[in-house]
A and B are shown apart, each in its own frame.
Chain A
């Protein structure tokens, strides 16, 4: 199969106006992906499906990623000449940049006819609140239908052009998107004997006593 760079170059030759970039994966898997602009995504997807070299006829997986707003701390190095005539000093200045939050949808494509894959596509929304609409790829790959509904349900990405965009796991009256990083789940913590990690924090909140303290025997008898 062609490399991701080769696919990108062919796509750019075919769709000169499209925004396409390669997202490198530094992990040993080296599964690099293509970040597509939303406006040409459907046309590109159709090209990838129908192109005789690639024939990516199966979309095996659609998933979402939530990228909350985060502060990126960088540093800029500059050399300042020493007025005393010594060697120039290197001054490091810290810069902070606020990266806006966004939602990401990832598609994994395979070719059953050519027996190769995956080709990974990524789409980004504008932000996490208002501009959460992305084009649906269900018209291209029918198998996206339920998985895009899942991403809509759990992440809140709205897919335009989806034939039946409803919640699929949670009920229709549900308002939240549980897989988002800022989701606050219902406060129904119940005591359990060996809390740890995040659960320990909840346990301390609900039972604000020393965590290692023994439980006093109840009226019905000893309860270690």
Chain B
């Protein structure tokens, strides 16, 4: 629960979780704006109707009757990024496709979330050594949830969605820990890479992605 602040209710006495649960058992629901707001948001995450490769087939399976993503409130796949909350990067991102994916991300309104679904979206996966494969979408857009697998089963996607819901429920609506859409000091747009003569320019967004540091290797013990 969210504790009432003195400015709202100067005489309120903070109650413990035990007391709140006791009240709930008697049909009295105590909540705060933050909890209510996040509860509502976390159960209506609308994904963008967007797929890149075989992971998209699993995503489609997850949205159908057998796995039924509607149980988690995410059955409304929006055909327009303007109406979507969640970008599921489902599949291999080629370098030719990467600027379009970043552009879609920029067109989505805040608050928005990104799931990197499958090995390719995370790191390039089995095509990591390919000349035209982006080695992870997190080089250009911020990723909230990584779902490993090649491709991940629909259950894994649903688990990723549940993880995302937990992440949403844990977000603060004010203060320095607030997510970027509630703050003025962060730019929500990501730089769209240009097509260069040999590679994307820049090959990664340096402000967002730091390559793994050179490993310090010690002798075998």
Q: Interface residues, chain A, CB within 8 Å of chain B?
A: 169-176, 178, 183, 185-186, 188, 190-192, 198-199, 206-207, 209-210, 212-216, 218
Contacts and interface: CB of A to CB of B under 8 A. Distances in A.
A185 B130 CA distance: 9
Given A171-B195, A174-B195, A190-B123, A215 B131 contact: no
B220 A212 contact: yes
B218 interface: yes
Q: Which 4 A-B pairs have the closest CB atoms?
A: A186-B199, A209-B217, A213-B217, A185-B131
A212 B220 CA distance: 7
A190 B210 CA distance: 11
Interface residues of B, number: 25
Given A183-B131, A190-B123, A199-B129, A175 B197 contact: yes
Contact of B221 (A170, A185, A209, A214): A214
Contacts of B132: 169-170, 178
A188 B135 contact: yes
Contact of A214 (B195, B199, B212, B218): B218
14 contacts: A170-B96, A175-B197, A178-B132, A183-B131, A186-B203, A190-B211, A192-B123, A192-B128, A198-B129, A206-B214, A207-B214, A207-B217, A214-B218, A216-B216
B220 A214 contact: yes
B14 interface: no
A210 B217 contact: yes
A207 B128 CA distance: 18
Given A190-B123, A213-B220, A207 B135 contact: no
A209 B195 CA distance: 34
Main secondary structure of the interface of A (DSSP, over half): loop
Contact of B215 (A173, A191, A212): A191
B219 interface: yes
Contact of A173 (B195, B216, B217): B195
B196 interface: yes
B180 to A, nearest CB: 25
B26 interface: no
Contacts of A185: 131
Contacts of A170: 96, 132
Given A174-B198, A192-B123, 19 more contacts: A169-B132, A171-B95, A172-B195, A174-B195, A178-B131, A183-B131, A186-B198, A186-B203, A191-B215, A206-B214, A209-B217, A210-B217, A210-B219, A213-B217, A214-B220, A215-B217, A216-B216, A216-B218, A218-B216
Contacts of A214: 217-221
A190 B135 contact: yes
Contact of A188 (B96, B197, B203): B203
**Which of A178, A190, A210: most chain B Cβ within 10 A?**
A190
A109 to B, nearest CB: 30
A212 B215 CA distance: 13
A117 B96 CA distance: 36
A190 B128 contact: yes
B169 to A, nearest CB: 26
Contact of A190 (B131, B198, B212): B212
Contacts of A212: 220
Contacts of B211: 190
Nearest to B194: A173
Contacts of B220: 210, 212-214
